[in-house]
Each structure stands twice: as structure tokens, then as C-alpha cells.
Amino acid sequence: MSELVMAADGRPLKASLNRALRRQKLRALALIAPLLIFILVSFVMPIADMLFRSVENEIVGDTLPRTTQALKTWDPSADQAPGEEVFDALYTDMALAVEYKSHTRLGSRLNYEKTGIASMFRKSGRRVSKFKTDVYKDTFVAADAAYSDAGQWERWMSDAEIRANLPVTTDAYDGWAKMLVEAEGDVPGEEQPWNFVYAALYQDAVAGAELPIAVDVSAIEPVSISAQFAAVDDSWLDPDVWRTIKTYAPKYTNGYFLNSVDLMKGAEGIEQRPDNEKIYVVLFVRTMIMSLSIMGMCVLLGYPIAWLLANLKDRTANLLMILVLLPFWTSLLVRTSAWKVLLQQQGVINDLLVWIGLVADDNRLQLINNQTGTIIAMTHILLPFMILPLYSVMKTIPPSYLRAAKSLGATNWTAFWRVYFPQSVPGIGAGCILVFILAIGYYITPELVGGTKGVFISNRIAYHISSSLNWGLAAALGTILLVIVMALYWAYDKIVGIDNVKLGG
Amino acid sequence: MSGLPPYATTGQRAWYYSFRVICGLIFFFLIAPIMVIIPLSFNAQDFFTFTPEMLSFDPAGYSTKHYEDFFTNSDWQLALRNSLKIAPVATLLSVSLGTLAAIGLSQSHVPFRRAIMATLISPMIVPLIISATGMYFFYSNPYIPTPFGKIELPFTLTGTYIGVVLAHAALGIPFVIITVTATLVGFDKSLTRAAANMGAGPVTTFFRVQMPLILPGVVSGGLFAFITSFDEVVVVLFVGSAGQKTLPWQMFTGLREQISPTILAVATILIAVSIALLFVVELLRRRSERLRGLSPS
């Protein structure tokens, strides 16, 4: 058995080396850590937040907690609106939501799924505080003045026994007290409870609960809350509305994703959207086709240039390279405005065509605000991203191969197609993926020169964020786009390797 | 391609010259749109095309009034100031963090190197609109995720200077990482060992030996980061508010709403800036190659 090799400090050499290696790894990680944390916080977390938002749907459950709870027992396939107990819960939820001003937000959220709900919520929110439920309060207060005493209420509601006796009242009172503190900045012990708390107390009393001070409630003529909601908007009796609320009650939903592929949740599972609402599949397909044509144009225009640059003398090639790098370095907005100016009907290109006589003055070409405009401008913008990787690959192909092929009897075309072209394919692949990835997510150029027909999915995402405020749908569309790009990125990494990404030649 | 052999047939000659013409046209396509902007920006009229006076080189057809507008209009000046306030700080942030990380990544034993690299490069790959969407959501209501739920932070970053700088720094980092790691590939590690051998501490070694040698890469990475921020419009549109309106943002709204020829003057100035940047980056690249040529690889 050989003796253990020792390091200078008397430890086994192996352990000593391992320790050195570990220290080296730690030092490397310590250098990387600040940036990694920075990127995680400033970039990765936002992306994760977006992914989360595409399925998150807490607004319904958060705004109408009692209603969604009460709806659990309602059968959505029945062709009638839910019973009075759901409306009682809705009364409390709505009265609270109005104070938090969250009912309009919920209304617009549900409006994405069923048109008309937004106005129902808005109207009901205005009227819910004027619902004629005074009879409950009046009866209780008339029976015993303690029922109008804010301090007494607070004492009752901190008594565990009373709380257990009056579940509905406790729930309504707690919600009311919380709202009072959070939304109004008041103290519950100094405010008389609102009508819906008395309505809840009545429900408890009818259910046979023992009241803190006995009151005879049998004389009260019950008020129909559902009738009051229906008086505001009779859609409240429409089972379709309730189906929508029930469908979107869970905390997570695939509704946004279904929406982004033109599907929706119907009464019997997933179904197609009506034809006039189908836009996203068309938009995704258009984005793909246009990105592919831009990519194709870039190969067509980039290949000869890369070939020329790779086969010229270094000095000339470097000079010509400036013509490629200058657009690469020029601001995107500058290039887009250049195309906006050039392609206008009264712009330079149309003027030139009219002057040559190719186009009549009264029949100028429509080059902008359509797909032509987007494709021309984006081909120009992305062309350097095709030329640079192609050039770096072609630079490595020895010109002697072509000469050898020719000396063996190949024609120019055969030599190129059978010998040169296959070796340049990695460059084409790298350039194509790069251009495609960049094209598919473009926003600025299609927005400015694309009009309505030449826009991409990104423009729709931006629209949902800044105009329609349907953030969940924007997040779902973004997630789909991100998945496509990530798949391409993965392919790019396999083919080229991220380490080999080069900038500026 | 370099030169036509004397025995070339007529067909070969024809192809040789027509290929050059095709390439010339493509180069024209690349450069002409940018070059057309420059004379148009001196238009005396508020038109976006050449007026007859301009075509006949009548001095009356030219003027610098659009430039005057740029330098006197308060909107444009505010945008310029904002751009100059945001881009350098974002650049500084991405260069300092990026250079350190690139040095860490170039060590021989880095665990999870590929995954880390992919994460650091991702801001360049993820479409801007998605980055902007995510940042808009998260910066407006930042939180710390824990297994027990979110801890919401009591501030918002959207519409603030810091928010825009953070976002732009994140976007610039991949460029710094790529250029600096590329420079470090050619860096001779025995130099740092030699410095350490002669008694220099890690900090001295870094600033006196390593930094001067990788400086070209760091500077060109910084220029890329700078131009990324200076040129960026999507993210600032979402994360920023009117108070952070940058030059590209002002151009974007100008192009979308009421297009004014001042944009052409701004564009011309930006073209001059990009020519200068291109020049500097080329110089740095050559210098870096020369330095690399000196050290054994």
C-alpha cells in the first residue's frame, strides 16, 4: 500500500486540493452572486410574476367571498338563478366592495367573460346602500335600544359565545369593522352597524339562533334582496351571469389561456368563441408568418453580402463592414422614422416612382400602415443580425475547398451548392433563429408602420396592458409568446451555444 | 471572388458583375434609409420629402430650423436630459456588476455555469414586450415571495427614476457579460499568478494587471449597455411615467401622434452619435486583438 501523499502543511494532498478547489468555487460564486441576485430581482421575478398572473384569479373570491361560498351549493346546470341565501350573501359582499371601490374592478374583470356584467356591478354598487332593508334595523332597535349602541355591539362581538351563536352576523360584522378601519379610518366601537349587519342578524334569528337580547322577529315581513337586485338590473336573475361568477370563483383559472387561443369556458366545458371574437389564433399565425417572411428576406439579402465580405480582401471587407455595422448601431427609432418618412404616400420612394413614371401621381402605392411596411422596415432593421453570424461562419470555410471542387470537374453551381453551401448552413441556422426570435417579439416598428393589418401579438399585449386593462389576458398572451421564444432559445443554444454569441462582428 | 481569372467565360464575367451589382443594391438598401434622413433634416419646409428647392441645391431650400426647435423646445430638452440622466447610471450599474460576474464566470470551476449564463443572458433573448409587461406588474407592486405568501413592500417602482434605471441596467447586463467574457477568453491567467507571486493582493492584481488588459472589452460592453438604455423605448414606456420621458419615447409619441420634422433633426444627431460609437468600438476591438496577440493563448 502506497503511503498517502502529504501537502506542505501536513494534510493529505487530496484533501488539501479539494479544499483549494472548494475555495476557488466559492470565490467564483461570490463574484457572480451580486449580479445574479440583481437579475433575479429586477428581471426574473417580474417574469415569474407575469407567469403567475396569467392563471391567477383571486379577484372574484376576494371581492365576493360570501357569495362564492354560498354559490357552492347552487347547481349551474339548473335553469334558474340561485336562491335567496346567495343574494343575502351578495348584499353583504356588495355593500363592502362598494366601500373598497373594488366592485367596478370585479365588474370589468367579469365583463371580459360576459359582456354587460360591468354595468350591472356599477349600477348595483350605486344603489346597494339604498336597498330597503331598514325594517330589520328598526325592529331590533325598537325591541331594545341596545341594538343601536355601537359600544354594545363591539362588546357582543368580542364575546366568543355570542359569536358562536350568530355565525352570519359575526361574519358580516367582522367584514364591516375591518372595512371601517381600512377604508374609512373610523373606529367600529363608535359607529352604529350598517343595515346589512342587521339583515344578517335577522337571518341568524330566523335560523333559530339565540340572540343576545331576545327579540321577536316573527312579525317582520322578510325583504326580498333578490327582488331589489333585480330592480336595479334584471340580469341578476339571469342564470348565465351566475354561471360566469361560479366558473371564475376559484383562485386559479385557465380562462385567460383559453381566451388567448379563442376558446372559452361554457356551461358544458370548453367551447369555441363566437366567430366575431376570434382574433388571437389569427394574430399568432400572422405573427409567425410575418416573422418567417422577414427571416426569409434576411437570408435572401444577407447571404450574398456575407459571402462577399467573407471573400474580399480584409481591408475592403472591413470598409464594407461599416455599411453593415452602422445600421446595427443606429437607434431603432431613427431607422423606423426613416422608413416612416420614406414609405409615406407623399414620401421619397413614392415621389421617386412617380418621377420615373412607374406609378401614376394619383395612384401612389400604399407602402405603409400595412404588412408591406412592417416587412420592409423590419427586414432592414434585422438584416445585420443575419449578416454577422453568417459572416463569422463563412470566414471559417477555406476557399480552397471550392477550388478543389472545381478542379475535380464541378461547375460553379455544383461547387457552391454541394460544397460551400452545406458548410454555411450552421451560420444560416444561427442567423435565422436570431432574426426570428427578435422579429416575433417586436413591438415598436409594427406599432409605428404596421397600421392595423401589420401588427404583431406584442401590440395586442401592449393594448391589453395600457388600454383594455385586461392584465390577465396580456399575461397569458405574453406567456405563450415567451414559451415559443424560449423553445427557440433552447434550440439556438443547442446549435450555436450561448457562449458563442458575438456582437459587432 | 477576389478578382476574375483571365480565362473566365462571358457567362462567368456577366455573373461576376451582376453579383457585384446585386450586393451594391443590398448595401444601398442597408445604408440609404439612414443617409436620406440627414439632408431631409435640413428642409426649410415642414415636409418629409425633397422640395424642388432642395433638389436644385437652392440655399433657400435648406435651413437649420428643426435643429433650433430641438434645442429650444422644452419637451425635447426634458427628454434629452432624462436620457442623459438614466443611461449613464444604468450603464455604470450593469458594467460594475457585469464585469465582476464575468470574471467569476471565467474561472475554471464554476458550478451551474450553463444555467447561470443562460439566466444572465436571458434579458437579451426575452422579447422586450414581455420584459416590459413583467416589470410593469412587479415594479408597481413589489413583493418578497415566501412559502407562506407574499410580503408586499411598501413602495412602488413604476413611474420612478430608480425603477427605470433598474430595468435598463437589467437589459444592458447581457451585453456586458458577452463582451467581457469574450475578452477574458484571451486573458493569460499566468499574469495574475505572476502578480500574486510578486506579492500583489487580489485587489491590486485586479486593478493593476487584469483591468488594464480587459479594459477594451469592458468599455465596449459598457457602450453596448449605454446604447441599449439610450435607445430603449418599450420598457420605459411601461415602467416610466411622464417624468421619465426619454428621447426615444418622445420620438415614439412624435411618430405616432403628430409627426414633426424635428424628429428628423433628432435622428440626424443620433446618427452622428452612433457613428462615433461605432468608431470607438472598432478601435477598442482592434486594440483588444492587438493586446491578445501579444499574450500567448
Residue of B nearest to A434 (CA): B125
Q: What average pLDDT score do residues A481-494 get?
A: 87
pLDDT at residue A1 greater than cutoff 60: no
End-to-end Cα distance, chain A: 58
Q: Distance (Å, rounded) from C-alpha A155 to C-alpha B211?
A: 72
Residues in chain B with CB shorter than 8 Å from the CB of A466 are 238
Of A48, A458, A489, Cβ closest to residue B129 = A458
Residues in chain A with CB shorter than 8 Å from the CB of B277 are 329
Q: How many C-beta atoms surround the C-beta of residue A13 within 10 A? A: 12
| Better-predicted residue by pLDDT, B22 or A88 | B22
Look up residue A318 and give its amino acid.
Answer: N
Question: Using CA of residue A501, residue A504, residue B3, residue B8, what is the dihedral sign?
Answer: positive
All 3 cell numbers of residue A354? Answer: 412617380
End-to-end Cα distance, chain B: 32
**SS3 assignment for A433-454:** HHHHHHHHCCCHHHHHHCCCCC
**Closest to A215 in 3D by CA, of A270, A120, A148:** A148
> At CA A87, angle to CA A83 and CA A89, rounded to 5?
120
ipTM of predicted complex: 0.87
A179-212 residue pLDDT tens: 888 887 888 878 888 888 888 888 888 888 888 8
Question: Using CA of residue B242, residue B244, residue B247, residue B252, what is the dihedral sign?
Answer: negative
All 3 cell numbers of residue A425? Answer: 448552413
Q: Which residues pair with A265 in a beta bridge?
A: A270
A166-176 residue pLDDT tens: 888 888 888 88
Cβ–Cβ under 8 Å, residues B120 and A36: yes
DSSP B108-127: S--TTHHHHHHHHHHHHHS-
pLDDT at residue B120 greater than cutoff 80: yes
Residues in chain A with CB shorter than 8 Å from the CB of B118 are 493, 498
Residues in chain A with CB shorter than 8 Å from the CB of B20 are 308
| Better-predicted residue by pLDDT, A442 or B282 | A442
B77: CB partners within 8 A, 6+ apart:
B71
Backbone φ and ψ of A271, nearest 5°: -140, 170
pLDDT at residue A404 greater than cutoff 70: yes
Cβ–Cβ under 8 Å, residues B105 and B116: yes
Cβ–Cβ under 8 Å, residues A303 and A390: yes
Q: Distance (Å, rounded) from C-alpha B127 to C-alpha B132?
A: 9
Q: Distance (Å, rounded) from C-alpha A285 to C-alpha A295?
A: 15
Q: Distance (Å, rounded) from C-alpha A440 to C-alpha A285?
A: 11
Q: Looking at chain B from residue 30 to 59, which residues have their Cβ under 8 Å from any Cβ of chain A?
A: 30-31, 33-34, 36-37, 40, 47-50
Of A50, A311, A486, Cβ closest to residue B2 = A311
What is the per-residue pLDDT for B62?
87
Interface test with B, best of A25, A38, A331 (most B CBs within 10 A): A331
DSSP A203-257: HHHHTTPPPSS----TT-----HHHHHHHH-GGGG-HHHHHHHHHT-SSB-SHHH
Using pLDDT thresholds of 50, 70 and 90, give the confidence band for residue A9: confident
SS3 A421: helix
Q: Distance (Å, rounded) from C-alpha B28 to C-alpha A327?
A: 11
In the block, which residue shows the cell 366568543? A160
What is the per-residue pLDDT for A108?
86
Residues in chain A with CB shorter than 8 Å from the CB of B40 are 341, 348
What is the per-residue pLDDT for B295?
46
Cβ within 8 Å, pair B285-A504: yes
Cβ–Cβ under 8 Å, residues B251 and B232: no
Average pLDDT, chain B: 87
All 3 cell numbers of residue A365? Answer: 402605392
Using pLDDT thresholds of 50, 70 and 90, give the confidence band for residue A272: confident
Q: Distance (Å, rounded) from C-alpha A106 to C-alpha A65?
A: 12
Residues in chain B with CB shorter than 8 Å from the CB of A335 are 33-34
Average pLDDT, chain A: 87
Q: Distance (Å, rounded) from C-alpha A359 to C-alpha A351?
A: 9
**Closest to A311 in 3D by CA, of A421, A391, A406:** A391
What is the per-residue pLDDT for A505?
38
Look up residue A86 and give its amino acid.
Answer: V
pLDDT at residue A504 greater than cutoff 60: no
Q: Distance (Å, rounded) from C-alpha B256 to C-alpha A348?
A: 19
B277-292 residue pLDDT tens: 888 888 887 877 776 6
Using pLDDT thresholds of 50, 70 and 90, give the confidence band for residue B55: confident
B235-284 residue pLDDT tens: 999 999 988 999 999 999 988 887 788 888 999 999 998 899 888 888 88
- Give chain B's length: 297
Q: Which residues pair with B43 in a beta bridge?
A: B62
Q: Distance (Å, rounded) from C-alpha A216 to C-alpha A214?
A: 7
Using pLDDT thresholds of 50, 70 and 90, give the confidence band for residue B293: low
Q: A258 vs chain B: nearest CA distance in angstroms?
A: 19
Backbone φ and ψ of A202, nearest 5°: -60, -45
Residues in chain B with CB shorter than 8 Å from the CB of A329 are 227, 274-275, 277-278, 281
Residues in chain A with CB shorter than 8 Å from the CB of B234 are 443-444
Cβ within 8 Å, pair B173-A35: yes
Residues in chain A with CB shorter than 8 Å from the CB of B170 are 38-39, 42-43
pTM, 2 dp: 0.84
pLDDT at residue A372 greater than cutoff 60: yes
Using pLDDT thresholds of 50, 70 and 90, give the confidence band for residue B297: very low
Q: Distance (Å, rounded) from C-alpha A109 to C-alpha A91?
A: 19
What is the per-residue pLDDT for B77?
94
Q: How many C-beta atoms surround the C-beta of residue A36 within 10 A? A: 19
All 3 cell numbers of residue B182? Answer: 469574450
SS3 B24: helix
Cβ within 8 Å, pair A478-B170: no
Residues in chain B with CB shorter than 8 Å from the CB of A447 are 256
Q: How many C-beta atoms surround the C-beta of residue A256 within 10 A? A: 22
* CB pairs A-B closer than 8 Å: 276
Q: Which residues pair with B152 in a beta bridge?
A: B143
**Closest to A225 in 3D by CA, of A74, A60, A63, A81:** A81
A497: left (phi over 0), alpha (psi -120 to 50) or beta: left
**Closest to A460 in 3D by CA, of A259, A275, A263, A289:** A259
Q: What is the DSSP letter of B64?
A: -
Helix pair A280-311, A314-329: axis angle to 10 deg: 150
pLDDT at residue A315 greater than cutoff 50: yes
Q: Distance (Å, rounded) from C-alpha B158 to C-alpha A486?
A: 27
Cβ within 8 Å, pair A34-B100: yes
Q: Looking at chain B from residue 238 to 297, which residues have their Cβ under 8 Å from any Cβ of chain A?
A: 238, 248, 251-252, 255-256, 259, 263-264, 267, 270-271, 274-275, 277-278, 281-282, 285
Given CB atoms, is B225 within the 8 Å cutoff of chain A?
Answer: no
pLDDT at residue B3 greater than cutoff 70: no
Q: For residue B210, how far is the Cα from the chain centroid?
A: 25
Q: Distance (Å, rounded) from C-alpha A124 to C-alpha A230?
A: 9
Element of type H or E holding B201: none
What is the per-residue pLDDT for A267?
65
Within 13 Å, how many C-alpha atoms sit on residue A441's CB side? 28
Q: What is the DSSP letter of B242?
A: G
**Closest to A306 in 3D by CA, of A382, A391, A392:** A391
Q: What average pLDDT score do residues B224-229 get?
A: 91
Task: Output the CA–CA distances (angstroms, integers) from residue B32 to A248, A275, A342, A347, B231, in the order listed.
Answer: 55, 44, 10, 14, 21
Question: Using CA of residue A427, residue A432, residue A438, residue A443, what is the dihedral sign?
Answer: positive
Look up residue B286 and give its amino acid.
Answer: R
Cβ within 8 Å, pair B40-A326: no
Backbone φ and ψ of A79, nearest 5°: -90, 40
Q: Which residues pair with B149 in a beta bridge?
A: B146
All 3 cell numbers of residue A276? Answer: 366575431
Q: What is the dihedral of CA B278, B282, B288, B293, to 10 degrees?
A: 160
Cβ–Cβ under 8 Å, residues A463 and A411: no
pLDDT at residue A503 greater than cutoff 60: no
B126-145 residue pLDDT tens: 999 999 999 999 999 898 88
Interface test with A, best of B7, B16, B30 (most A CBs within 10 A): B30
Question: Alpha-carbon Rg of chain B, whole angstroms?
Answer: 25
Q: Looking at chain B from residue 98 to 137, which residues have their Cβ under 8 Å from any Cβ of chain A?
A: 98, 100-101, 103-105, 107-111, 116-123, 125-131, 133-137
SS3 A267: coil
Q: Distance (Å, rounded) from C-alpha B101 to C-alpha B221?
A: 13
Backbone φ and ψ of A73, nearest 5°: -90, -5
Residues in chain B with CB shorter than 8 Å from the CB of A46 are 131, 134-135, 137-139
pLDDT at residue B220 greater than cutoff 90: no
SS3 A338: helix
Share of chain A above pLDDT 90, in %: 24
Cβ within 8 Å, pair B37-A338: yes
A283: CB partners within 8 A, 6+ apart:
A455, A456, A457, A460
A80-138 residue pLDDT tens: 888 888 888 898 898 888 888 888 888 888 888 888 888 888 888 888 888 888 888 88
